[in-house]
Amino acid sequence: MSLDSTIPDEGTEGIITTIKVIVMLITCVHHKLSDKLLTFEQQKEKRDLANAKRRQAYANKQREKQKQVSSNQMLSTQQCRKRKVDVAISDLCDSPSDIIGPLFMQIDGKDDEKIGESD
């Protein structure tokens, strides 16, 4: 082995330097690529989370809409019953002598008999 063979010449130094630069570039590119992948995964998670929130909000809105429809149906049923009761009451009030009059007469007659007996 000669002394000249262990000392790199200018051509060999250039190749070694080029190899070192290539290794550094590959390492740097690998890290940047993994950062982009991580960012992509984070973006995907963010999109998935936003979609889940959107679906949840839509489901809540549909439930509220269904509750409102049920409430309106119940209200209309209650209003219908109230109307029927109001009609029945107004019918009674319109013709008291036919229906209510005899009832009051019977009650008044019984009360008078009780009062007379106690005297």
What does the block give as tokens for 77?
């049923």
Is residue 19 packed enough to be buried (19+ CB in 10 Å), middle (13-18) or exposed (0-12)? exposed
Confidence bin at 88 (pLDDT 50/70/90)? confident
Is 59 within a domain? yes
- Are the CB atoms for 29 and 21 separated by under 8 Å? no
Instruction: Report the domain count for the chain.
Output: 1
Is 55 within a domain? yes
Number of helices (H) and strands (E) in the chain: give both, helices first. Answer: 3, 0
Which residues are CB-neighbours of 92 under 8 A, at least 6 positions away?
A: 99, 100
Is 106 within a domain? no
Is 5 within a domain? no
Q: What is the dihedral of CA 30, 35, 39, 40, to 10 degrees?
A: 0
Is 28 within a domain? yes
Is 110 within a domain? no
The predicted structure's pLDDT at residue 110:
55
Residue 2 has pLDDT above 50, yes or no: no
* DSSP string computed for 61-96: HHHHHHHHHHHHHHHHHHHHHHHHHHHHHHHHHH-T
What average pLDDT does range 105-109 have in this prediction? 54
Task: Residue 69: give the domain boundaries.
Answer: 13-92
What average pLDDT does range 89-107 have in this prediction? 61
Which residues are CB-neighbours of 16 under 8 A, at least 6 positions away?
A: 8
What average pLDDT does range 69-82 have in this prediction? 75
CA distances from 54 to 47, 50, 65, 68 (A): 10, 6, 16, 21
